[in-house]
Amino acid sequence: MPKSSKSSKPNIRVLLADDHYIVRAGVRRLLEGARDLQVIAEAGDGEEAQALIQKHKPDVAVLDIQMPKASGIDVTRWVRSHLPKVGVLILTAFDDDPYVMAVLQAGANGYVLKTAKADELVRAVRDVNEGQSALDPAITRKLMSNLFKGPERTPVEPLTDRERDVLQLTAKGYTNKAIGVQLGISDRTVQGHLAHIFTKLQASSRTEAVMRAVSLGWVSQAAGGISNE
d(CA 162, CA 92): 38
d(CA 74, CA 216): 32
φ, ψ for residue 120, nearest 5 deg: -70, -40
Residue 21 burial (C-beta neighbours within 10 Å; 0-12, 13-18, 19+):
exposed
- Determine the longest span between alpha carbons in the chain, in angstroms: 70
Q: 94: which DSSP letter?
A: -
Contacts of 18 (CB under 8 A, 6+ apart): 24, 27, 44, 63, 64, 67, 91
Q: pLDDT tens digit string along 65-107? A: 989 999 998 999 999 999 989 999 999 988 777 777 778 878 8
Q: pLDDT tens digit string along 125-169? A: 999 999 888 887 777 666 665 555 554 555 677 889 899 899 988
User: What structural domains and CATH numbers belong to the chain?
Assistant: 12-139 (3.40.50.2300), 155-215 (1.10.10.10)
Give pTM, 2 decimals: 0.63
d(CA 28, CA 81): 27
According to the model, what pLDDT value does residue 99 have? Answer: 76
Contacts of 7 (CB under 8 A, 6+ apart): none
Residue 31 above 90 pLDDT?
yes
Buried b (16+ CB within 10 A) or exposed e, 199-229: ebbebebbbbbbbbbbbeebbeeebebbbbb
d(CA 120, CA 30): 11
Across the range 198-225, mean pLDDT stands at 72
Residue 18 burial (C-beta neighbours within 10 Å; 0-12, 13-18, 19+):
buried
